[in-house]
Amino acid sequence: MLFSRFKQLFQIKHFGLFIICMLLIGTSVSITMPYLSIYGTSVIGMSTGAFGVFMAISSLTGVIANTMIANYSDNGMDRKWLILAAMFSSACGYSSYLLFDSFLGLLLSVSFFNGLGAAAMPQMFAYAHELATESQSDDKTFAKSTLRSLFSLGFLIGPLIGTVLLAAFGYNGLFLGTTTIFILLSALVYFFLPKRKMANTPKPKVQKPTLFSVETKRLFLPFFAFILLFSVVAVNSMNTPLLIIHELNGTHADVGLMVGLCAGLEIPIMLTFGALSKKLSNQTIVIMSCLVGILYFTVLGIATASWQLIAAQILQATFIAVVTGNGLSYFSDFLPDSAGVAATLYANASTLGRLGGNLMGGFGAELAGFRYVNWLCVSVIFISFIVLFVKPAKPMEKMEEPRQMGMT
């Protein structure tokens, strides 16, 4: 049963701590996310274009930081200190909104600190993957899907907390709340997460793959496919509410119901597909999700009433749950000895995809209209399907080398 498998996950060392951390990260980020564009444009005075540049640069610095850190994280660096530094950097990044009231000041400070903070998620997934391996767990995909679902659960809690903080204390309360949670996360990591250091064993003859090694370069096409999949997720979140309001004559209540229903369905679906990974490969599950995504965006392209989109959220939730939940395990399957590199590939694909999706959704809607953007999304997912189906990467064999990592 699913519940008994969930209980067995706690045999993985410190799994309970990772659950708390993932829930708090999702909550902290989602406290401010719905209000950042309003704050930037109405309080700081940015234009919508300037705010787009601000978000794009902030995201790209995260990709750069993740890339630099991943090249060393699997070859002896202590993940505890990487995670701690990333958590504290995120606290500094969100506190920047309390200190700076100019575009340039926020751009420099937030881009630097939140860029470094972006490493927290992939490094935590990598740490959890290593602990699952040490605990001889055969349910790694379910473990990672569970952690990812806790992050999604935080996105259901955070906006509610943000609404209360904004009403009671204004934007300062909003950013102070997020900063406080990241400081709390830093304390949890510092006091309860053990160090992982190189043991006094001979240096391995085989260096683990990095982001630029030959072994990783063969994942370029799957990486590109996931960028495309994440891009349509971004297009949907941006354009579908506008489609409901402007073309289907729906209400804001319809939009809220659609978003809430999708978020609520994602969590159990994510857990279900994480559990199914014992019977089906992550490769197969991801390919199947592409077909579900094509069906969903086809419904969006032909819908004539908002209730049809609301009913189709079971398809959207399934597509998102697999891409975000099984996607991480997909890369881990191909790089079993390089958990940090695998998690970084997944995180960078997500960031780049959402950047491209925001651009595609914005310009596409302006040029062709909200409805026709959905047919573009169908084409994009179909390209991903072809890439993943025709050119699947072959998993690496695990390297035989002396055991390196120890717990202190």
Residue 198 β-bridge partners: 405
Residue 288 backbone zone (phi > 0: left; psi -120 to 50: alpha; other: beta): alpha
Report the C-alpha gap between 171 and 43 in whole angstroms. Answer: 9
- The stretches in the chain having pLDDT less than 70 are 1-2, 48, 71, 75-76, 196-215, 391-408
H runs (alpha helix) in 369-399:
370-390
φ, ψ of residue 407 in degrees (nearest 5):
-110, 140
The model carries a pTM of 0.81
Count of Cβ atoms closer than 10 Å to residue 283 Cβ: 18
At residue 193, the pLDDT reads: 92
Kindly give, in sequence order, each residue whose CB lies less than 8 Å from that of residue 283, ignoring residues fewer than 6 positions away. 330, 333, 388, 392
At residue 375, the pLDDT reads: 93
Q: Exposure of 65 by Cβ count < 10 A (0-12 exposed, 13-18 middle, 19+ buried)?
A: buried
Tens digits of per-residue pLDDT, 279-327? 888 889 999 999 999 999 999 999 989 899 889 999 999 999 999 888 8
Angle 226-93-267 (CA atoms, 0-180°, nearest 5)? Answer: 40
Residue 197 β-bridge partners: 406
Report the C-alpha gap between 321 and 269 in whole angstroms. Answer: 6
Report the C-alpha gap between 90 and 58 in whole angstroms. Answer: 12
Q: How far is CA 186 from CA 48, 89, 92, 182, in A?
A: 33, 10, 12, 6
Tens digits of per-residue pLDDT, 130-157? 888 888 887 888 888 899 889 888 888 8
Residue pointed to by tokens 């850190």: 69
CA-wise closest residue to 183 among 98, 101, 93? 93
- DSSP string spanning 99-150? H--SHHHHHHHHHHHHHHHTTHHHHHHHHHHHHHHHTT-S-HHHHHHHHHHH
Q: Exposure of 271 by Cβ count < 10 A (0-12 exposed, 13-18 middle, 19+ buried)?
A: buried
Residue pointed to by tokens 């406080």: 180
Angle 123-125-131 (CA atoms, 0-180°, nearest 5)? Answer: 105
